[in-house]
A and B are shown apart, each in its own frame.
Chain A
Amino acid sequence: MASFTVVKQEEFEAQQEKGSAHVLRCLTSGLSCLTRQDGSVSLSQGDTTSIAVVYGPAEVRINKEQIDKATVEVIFRPKVGLSRPEHRKQERIMRNTLEPAIEAHLHPRSSISIIIQETEDLGSNLACCINSACLALLDAAINMNYMVAAVSVAVKENEDMVLDPSKQVEKEAKSIITYVFDSVNYQIVTIASTGSFSRVQHMEALKLAREASKSVFQFYRESVAKKLLMSE
């Protein structure tokens, strides 16, 4: 099953002319956009949008109970069709990224569930989902060791790097690497990649992504500060 987007020829050409600029697309967040959850956020990175919600700490199903820490559950919901193995994989990446960030030992025998709904996938979907999940955790006021920020980098066929690639670039790219950094020392938390790339390319992409992640963290800070009516 496929859903479609129309990219106008002029628009696409205009994008091509601008070349592989190292820009992070416009970030927009809406915290507490839903009402039934403990924390919710809708985040858009350019045209890619996702909604993440958090419940917790709440009661846990007896078979998932852990006596020393909270059970962290991540559910990813694709927009089209039922969840397939690739979505399960994405779910797992997100769970393994977010679990160490959450101070789960503060809430033993409880559950923290994070549900992420893809609402528009137009490039760098995984990064958008991770970022929205982190913002939702902040919105739900869950204790965290550090925040996480994900940034995607695409390596094009001609070896150019594109930061925060759009769908069209992703399709043509040789490889796509998603880096997740922590907010303390901007160190790597997760790398998820498809395709092949050299070590040098990896180093270059890493540097680029790390620089970009700083503005994502700044964006988190501003969003939460604005919600709490604080001035930086």
Chain B
Amino acid sequence: MRETPLSNCEREFILNNIAQQRRLDGRNAYDYRDLRIAFGVSLGCCHVELGKTRVLAQVSCEVGDPKQTRPHNGVLFVNVELSPMACPAYEQGKQSEEGIELSRLMERCLKESRCLDMESLCIVSGEKAWHVRVDIHVLNHEGNILDCSSIAAISALAHFRRPDVSVHGEEITIHTLEERNPVPLSLHHMPLLVSFTFFSQGKYMLVDPSLKEEKVMEGKMVVGMNKHRELCTLQVTGQMLLLKDQVLRCSSIAVTKVTKITELIHQALENDKQARLRGDKHGFAVLVSGDKVTSNRLPTTEVSVEKTEVSMEGQSSEEDSEDQSATNNGADISDKPDESTSKSSAVHILTKGVGMIGEGGPSTWLDLPQAIEKQQKVKKRKHRPAKAEEEEEQESSEEEEQVILK
């Protein structure tokens, strides 16, 4: 699907407003939109909302070979995916120019700032090392995905824990999470990206551009910085010239923004940690508040069914009785041609495998005769009647562990 273009009058309107120090959403020039950081149940899963822009980041790891050129280091891989989920203009499986730029910038920000101690990811020098992967999914594109994803990525890295490893001589043991507490990655500092957009030959500058502002901008400068005022990344794109003053001004704005955001990340991490320690409910599910008209909640419900009555007398008559029960329940089976043709076979699969009925369309059961053959070999399994249901009523104690920054 094509992107809806911005009309000329709308473009002019936005530019006129910027010239009069006004923004469409009523913010001041240097204001960020509301920021919300939430963590999932799984480790290293972070969800960031910047205004309406939403990004999900997940960190994962596995053991692999280190790079030949750097045998003492682990590997960090950053992947930013712009899927059609975020915006209809993006295509599935095809990296757009914008996507590549975003990926590269994120990678530069995280790798070249050396925020992650790569040497601590090494297990055996030159043989085994941790490969850490950061997957960033843009869920909703309402402008400034870059800042949002950099916050999500670094928060997810800080939240992540990897399994503990012990090395005895040649033997490497990876301990499961139950065996030993997982260890956090050693993060030296938190580089964050702040984008500045410029309009009218660099005359006007805005922080945290919205989608429409991004469409009319002339150029963009991205400053990567940590809270220690150390510059990590700097990139200028677009057709404009910048004065030295402007660059300095941008970096000083970036300092205040980064300090604030870092504080918020730490606070969010602490909240999540406390919630986990207390054993409260955490994760995305509890973050949906039930008081909006668009959200709804159905508490845990118990489902009760009568026990199925199946006669079990005699091995020989079992086949018949089973067929009987099949025809009794014919209402739900008669519409399945597959089922009726293979009347006597409920296709037993001997090993742990995959079985499917009702995929729709023509039959995909090419190996049906084989399955029947197999079935004939199968001895009848004894059936035990279902256990009496037990009740489980769980009122979730709601724990809001989101932090909102205005």
Separation in Å of the A193 CB from the closest CB of chain B?
5
Contact among A4, A120, A190 for B163, CB-based, below 8 A: A4
Digit string of B294-337 for contact with A (CB within 8 Å is 1, else 0)?
11111111111100101000000000001001100101110110
Bound CA span A222–B297, Å: 9
Within 8 A of B (CB), among A103-138: 111, 113, 115, 117, 119-120, 122
Bound CA span A190–B360, Å: 8
Most chain A CB inside 10 Å of its own CB: which residue of B44, B92, B295, B351? B295
- Judge whether A171 is part of the interface by a CB distance below 8 angstroms: no
Within 8 A of A (CB), among B343-383: 346, 348-361, 380-381, 383
Contact among B298, B310, B352, B380 for A215, CB-based, below 8 A: B298
Contact among B1, B47, B177, B355 for A6, CB-based, below 8 A: B177
For A185, list chain B residues within 8 Å (CB). 331
Bound CA span A7–B2, Å: 44
Within 8 A of A (CB), among B37-94: 40-45, 47, 52, 54, 56, 58-62, 81, 83-88, 92
Return 5 A-B CB contacts under 8 Å, by A number. A53-B85, A100-B360, A115-B84, A194-B353, A229-B293
Given contacts A23-B301, A24-B300, A120-B284, contact A5 B140 (CB under 8 A): no
Given contacts A21-B391, A117-B137, A215-B298, contact A3 B58 (CB under 8 A): yes
Bound CA span A34–B138, Å: 11
In addition to A120-B285, A191-B356, 7 A-B residue pairs with Cβ atoms within 8 Å of each other are A37-B140, A58-B1, A79-B56, A80-B135, A160-B386, A190-B359, A199-B346
Contact A194 B352 (CB under 8 A): yes
Bound CA span A77–B298, Å: 26
Most chain B CB inside 10 Å of its own CB: which residue of A28, A42, A46, A192? A28
Digit string of A196-232 for contact with B (CB within 8 Å is 1, else 0)?
1011111110111011100100110011001101000
- Judge whether B292 is part of the interface by a CB distance below 8 angstroms: yes
- Judge whether A36 is part of the interface by a CB distance below 8 angstroms: yes
Contact among A1, A113, A210 for B133, CB-based, below 8 A: A1
- Judge whether A26 is part of the interface by a CB distance below 8 angstroms: yes
Separation in Å of the B6 CB from the closest CB of chain A?
14
For A24, list chain B residues within 8 Å (CB). 300-303
Contact A23 B392 (CB under 8 A): yes
Contact A23 B300 (CB under 8 A): yes
Closest to B310 in A: A200
Contact B43 A6 (CB under 8 A): yes
Most chain A CB inside 10 Å of its own CB: which residue of B2, B43, B131, B297? B297
Contact B86 A36 (CB under 8 A): yes
Please report whether the interface of chain A is mostly helix, strand, loop or mixed according to DSSP: mixed
For B394, list chain A residues within 8 Å (CB). 26
Contact among B81, B87, B279, B331 for A187, CB-based, below 8 A: B331
Contact A44 B392 (CB under 8 A): no
Contact B326 A199 (CB under 8 A): yes
- Judge whether A96 is part of the interface by a CB distance below 8 angstroms: yes
- Judge whether B389 is part of the interface by a CB distance below 8 angstroms: yes
For B294, list chain A residues within 8 Å (CB). 30-33, 226-227
Closest to B308 in A: A204
Contact B299 A160 (CB under 8 A): no
Bound CA span A27–B389, Å: 20
Contact B396 A5 (CB under 8 A): no
Separation in Å of the B387 CB from the closest CB of chain A?
6
Contact among B296, B303, B322 for A22, CB-based, below 8 A: B303
Separation in Å of the B47 CB from the closest CB of chain A?
7
Given contacts A3-B58, A77-B83, A96-B360, contact A22 B295 (CB under 8 A): no
A contacts, CB < 8 Å to B: 1-11, 18-37, 42, 44, 46-47, 49, 51, 53, 55, 58-59, 75, 77, 79-81, 92-93, 96-97, 99-100, 111, 113, 115, 117, 119-120, 122, 159-161, 163, 175, 185, 187-196, 198-204, 206-208, 210-212, 215, 218-219, 222-223, 226-227, 229
Contact B389 A3 (CB under 8 A): no
Contact B381 A198 (CB under 8 A): yes
For B170, list chain A residues within 8 Å (CB). none
Separation in Å of the B193 CB from the closest CB of chain A?
22
Given contacts A28-B296, A49-B284, A207-B308, contact A4 B177 (CB under 8 A): yes
For B300, list chain A residues within 8 Å (CB). 23-26
Contact A203 B329 (CB under 8 A): yes
Task: Give 7 closest A-B pairs by Cβ, nearest first.
Answer: A44-B285, A96-B360, A223-B296, A1-B60, A27-B298, A199-B346, A21-B392
Contact among A7, A196, A223 for B352, CB-based, below 8 A: A196
For B218, list chain A residues within 8 Å (CB). none
- Judge whether B142 is part of the interface by a CB distance below 8 angstroms: yes
For B333, list chain A residues within 8 Å (CB). 188
Separation in Å of the B334 CB from the closest CB of chain A?
10
Bound CA span A196–B381, Å: 11
- Judge whether B161 is part of the interface by a CB distance below 8 angstroms: yes
Given contacts A21-B391, A49-B285, A92-B359, contact A187 B335 (CB under 8 A): yes
For B41, list chain A residues within 8 Å (CB). 5, 47, 120, 122
Bound CA span A117–B298, Å: 22
Separation in Å of the A46 CB from the closest CB of chain B?
7
- Judge whether B100 is part of the interface by a CB distance below 8 angstroms: no
